Amino acid sequence: MSLENTVSIVTGSATGLGAAVAIGLAERGSKLVINYTKSEKEAKETVEACKAKGAEAILAQGDVGNDEDCQRIAKAALDKWGRIDVLVNNAGTTQFADHAKLDALDADDFLSIYRINVVGPYQMIRACAPAMKKQGMGRVVNISSIAGVTGIGSSVAYAASKGALNTMTLSLARSLAPEIRVNAVCPGFIGTRWFSDRFGENQFNSIVKQQEETTPLQRAGMAEDIAKAVIFFADEGGEHITGETLITDAGLHLGFAPLAAR
């Protein structure tokens, strides 16, 4: 089954990986719901980029940590096109903290990260599942991280949240089958504005160089690289796959250095 005339929701798709996924889906004929929390200007630019690929696209503002917003995002797709075929749970958050400094995080830090990274995807799936079940098919792709597989990343809370997301992917792949396929993509480093804004241009370039020198494939991942893996699960190539967590990190996990992961 191809993506022509399908309807896709991509959460957190104003910038970075979410925008790259949305544009990639648009190139393949899908109609897009572009979700954002605060970055309205960038979200509108992503809508225009999707339209430039010949796709229909609309905006849906909302915080995935809020269940009412999740219901409203799903309703935007149903009101406009009457169906939901693909859900990409890309919206995420983190807090930077040395893993060895246990006092760097408290319960509220864990809860705020889990609210977006775990509860948010669950609520979005719950909002979209009835329509997917009714139409007899649906595809969910959760954006996780190698942090959830290897225990590295920006903080213990972040790594734990992505591990929880991976486990939830397995649970829902089993319980929502056969109509709905649920898979996860686990990126390593992604060279997006998120990294350059956080670390500054010089350190960002240093991280890119280190990735190119230390990963087995000698590549620093860009948003478009990861988007291809996401689209694989959303498109007909993934028809026979559910409950999978796909690491896409240029082989970093084969002998990783403790770098911050997405």
- Euclidean distance between the first and final Cα of the chain, in Å? 30
- Specify if 22 maps to a domain: yes
User: Residue 195: what pLDDT?
Assistant: 67
Position 128 in a domain: yes
Percent of the chain with pLDDT over 70: 94
In a domain, 146, yes or no: yes
**Chain mean pLDDT for the chain:** 93
CA 246, CA 199: separation in Å to the nearest integer? 27
Domain count, the chain: 1
**What range does the domain containing 125 cover?**
7-191+223-250
Q: pTM of the entire structure?
A: 0.93
Lowest mean pLDDT among 9-13, 22-26, 195-199, 255-259: 255-259
207 within some domain: no
* CATH number of domain containing 70: 3.40.50.720
- Does the residue 127 lie in any domain? yes
Residue 232 lies in a domain: yes
Asked if residue 144 belongs to a domain, the reply is yes
Instruction: Give the residue from 12, 136, 48 showing the smallest Cα distance to 84.
Output: 136
Residue partners of 12: CB distance under 8 A and separation at least 6: 18, 35, 36, 37, 64, 90, 91, 92
Inside any domain, residue 18:
yes
> Given 36, 114, 122, 158, which residue is catalytic?
158
- Say if residue 259's pLDDT is above 60: no
Q: 158 an active-site residue?
A: yes
